[in-house]
Amino acid sequence: MSIKLCDEEINAKLQKDGDSALHIAAIRGHLECLESLLENGAQVDLQNQSGQTALHMALSRGHVDIAILLLGRGCNSTIQDQNGDTPLHLAAEKGLFTIAQTICQLNIPIDIQNSQGLSPLHVAARFGSIEIVRCLCLAGLMYI
């Protein structure tokens, strides 16, 4: 797939909610398109009007392959959306153990609280994601 756009166009907000082509590819699970966009200069951490990055969008739909690619490209997994949720909050909510484990291994803060005062550990416990609770505890987050 070939994409011939200048940097400004590739990062343009295409929808009224501020989604870029990267956001759209992430939420729809279009891995090859997302790879091509990144190779052609798409900003991996671009946020829409809700503060969501492509990683937030991919996780909201459970697209693990997209999330792994974005994490491998060095996206910032501590960015909070307008609800204060980080990608780790979303992984905990969706029970995406592989993603939670990958984020925990990045040696970044994993106890960030969202606007409701909930950490990813709280979210994992609330949604019954026992493996993620264990993962977070092993990563050093020992309070609820």
Q: Which bin fits 75, alpha (ψ -120 to 50), beta or left (φ > 0)? A: beta
User: Would you state the pLDDT for residue 12?
Assistant: 62
Residue 2 pLDDT level (bands cut at 50, 70, 90): very low
State the Cα–Cα distance between residues 22 and 15, nearest whole angstrom: 12
Domain boundary among 19, 54, 76: 76
Q: Whole domain around residue 25: which residue ranges? A: 1-76
9 shares its domain with 67: yes
Question: How many domains, the chain?
Answer: 2
Last residue of a domain, one of 32, 57, 76: 76
Is there a contact between 1 and 33 (Cβ–Cβ < 8 Å)? yes
Average pLDDT over residues 94-121: 95
117-143 average pLDDT score: 90
pLDDT score, position 9: 76
Give pLDDT, residue 89.
Answer: 98
DSSP for 8-76 reads: HHHT---STT---HHHHHHHHT-HHHHHHHHHTT--TT---TTS--HHHHHHHTT-HHHHHHHHHTT--
Whether residues 58 and 90 share a domain: the answer is no
Per-residue pLDDT tens over the stretch 36-81: 999 999 999 999 999 999 999 999 999 999 999 999 999 999 999 9
- Please give the pLDDT value at position 50: 96
Mean pLDDT value across the chain: 90
- Residue whose token pair is 């279009």: 30
Co-location of 126 and 91 in the same domain: yes
Mean pLDDT, range 93-116, rounded to an integer: 94
Asked if residue 8 and residue 71 are part of one domain, the reply reads yes
Using DSSP's 3-state secondary structure scheme, residue 108 falls into: coil
Based on the fold, state whether residues 96 and 133 are members of the same structural domain: yes
Neighbour count for residue 63 (Cβ, 10 Å): 25
Specify whether 32 is located in the same domain as 48.
Answer: yes
- In this structure, are 4 and 24 located in the same domain? yes
In this predicted structure, the answer to whether residue 102 has a pLDDT above a threshold of 60 is: yes
94 pLDDT exceeds 80?
yes
- The pLDDT, as a whole number, for residue 131 is 97
Residue 7 and residue 59 in one domain: yes
